[in-house]
Structure 1
Amino acid sequence: MKQPVYLNHAATSNHKFKKTVQTLCQYLEENNTINANRGFQNRDELNLIFEARQALADFFHGPDAAHVLFTANATTSLNMILNGLLRAGDHVLTTEVEHNAVARPLHLLETQQNVSVTYLHCEPDGTLDPKQIDALIRPETKVLVMSHASNVLGTILPVRECFQLAKSYGIITVLDSAQTAGFLPIDMEAMSIDVLAFTGHKSLMGLAGIGGFVLAKNMEKKISPWMSGGTGSASLSFEQPTFLPDKFEPGTMNTMGILSLKSSLNSINQLGLEKIRTHERALTKRFLKGLEELPVRVLGCREAIERVPVVSITATAFDSGELAQQLFDEYQIITRSGLHCSPLAHQTAGTVKSGAVRFSFGWNTTMDEIDYTLKALKEVLSE
């Protein structure tokens, strides 16, 4: 078995596509002296960025390239969106399994800006009944923001049903796709998504430090700029430009990150999302099956088809940190233990005091690595 065995793809993908690495190296060697919108020799740079926007608009079924905005990551995007949408007196709905990328901005808005927050109830396995939304909506409810899938429980949430219900009340819908973009197909129009936040370094297989959000048509009119600064346009005014994409893109752009995302999306499209999903679901199914023979508790739904390729476990005889450390020290298996920046999900699962050990798989994970990990777990737990 080639080591180390990397099973922490829910945090970040470790091996990028070979073509992406080659493309980035070529760019650094030949063409990295141009700054978009800030020089007369910027045509190649602008074309690169436009093509990346268009690729993402196509991938998520967004309106057009101008409605794709680049940021550093999904967390930055969600902060920009929530702070740009919500005002004192507004009410927002979210779920009991949200990552801190949603929970912390909402907490600040609740404690500092008099925004009220209601959490949709989730069962211990992370499942959610959309019907509860009807009873929780108020006249001042403005936004429903939710993760597509929990980074702890792995459970895929019923986004389409929740968002269609919210839209029937005129509520703005915001999706955190950090755990699903590059694994599940996402169609903004069909799923009633007004704003889609994404990150590039997980299943989209780009570099860390690039992410963004996609807006449905006319949504830009409802969101105020949360950040402002130089855009290379309308420079005489102290006001942030009102047109896209400049309204939400102050400062120098991460061209290397954008290029990595453009290249990785091309590879994903060539492979086909269905092929990627089939492989990663097969890995998850095999791992879940193997865990049935071990003295562990599996968090989230038990069927691979109901979850992303993320499996968290607890073992009565082991502290989660000690178990993860032993797997690494003795078997060179890389996982992640603790609360995974998602205490809400752990509260839902009843593991907020113990934490859990999370195993997460990607396109490069092999069946041999799954079998090796199960064997290692059996040996460690038998001690």
Structure 2
Amino acid sequence: MALAFGSVQAADDAAKPIKIGVIGPYSGGSAPMGISMLHAVRMAVAEINWKGGLLGRQIQLVERDDEANPEKGEAAARELVEREKVEAMLGIANTGVGLVALKHFQQAKIPVIVNMAAGAPITQQFAPPQVPDSYVFRLAASDSIQTTRLIAEVVERYKFSKFALLGDNTPYGRQGVENLKRAMEARGLKPVFEGGFDLGQTDMQKLIAQSRAAGAQALLVWGIGPELAAIAKARAKEGWKVPLLGSWTLSLDNFIQNAGKAGDGARMTQTFIAEPITSRRQEFLIAYRKQSGLERIPSAVSAAQGYDSMLLLAAAIKQANSTQGTAVRNALENLQAQVFGVVTTYQKPYSHSDHEAITTDMVVTGEIRDGHITYAHKDEMTAVIVGRKTTDR
């Protein structure tokens, strides 16, 4: 009887779905990121489940809205770990949320792929040798990569040397500004003006006037859509036609819509631009519109990285032949199969000492033209078409 009971229990366990948590901001100013990511993860899961799932089990998503609020993000993390018993987690758009939420997954040895948040501490807080084994991985361009690319853009393409740095007063904004300053220092440069702004702030006229009075040749900004739109509008109201450049969040739909014509010409770092330049990307864009019911992706970067994060996680579970946390972590650190994503084709994207999937050569410069994101430089579009080696760091 004991053997029979054990066989029934094993069969029951095998029939249970694989529960994967998805935390993101599905409301509020960061919602374009969270909603775009969530639709894409759902799309990837639907494809995997249609093919039979993983290990003979279907995937079940357990979704939670953190509203870009650290307290709510931490509460969601605890619920997913303690009550829902998820076996892995995807998501996190805001660095401040990640800094308090991710520790719960790390302590429970549950693998996480952060697919939006760019703040350097996201992975550094659990990096060796301080932490022997990290369960936190990232599939997004870290601030250090983005800031290096932005400074190269204004120095090498624009031939400028005087910049004003404006960042929001959150861990994300402050870290971004510090990384910009480090990238400048590497070239022997210092900002001519540095300022901060609060979430929800709409009047940026004083910051623009101060930046202009300091002699800035370009505005480098670090924040999210609504506040960045207020900066673009203030620049236009001032009649100041200096370039506006920033992180990937300048591509958010709530920046493009709120800024209107004032946002045209803004440039930003991107891992993915919603143009069908390859058959893989074309298929993704068509499927996304069908799955979401949206003609326009609110945050194409978040969608692409969300989709790819599910593919990487699925590949690791398949390789590990298990959903046990340590086994999946080990598989992520030594993936044997190529994973054909929409950002790129991943070849051993992680190692034990490196949990960053995105490398400098995978980042391009986007530009807003007539309310749409396109490639700022044709040579970068060609690089995407021919493919790039992703293991170089």
**TM-score over 0.5 for the alignment?**
no
TM-score, length basis structure 2: 0.32
TM-score, length basis structure 1: 0.32
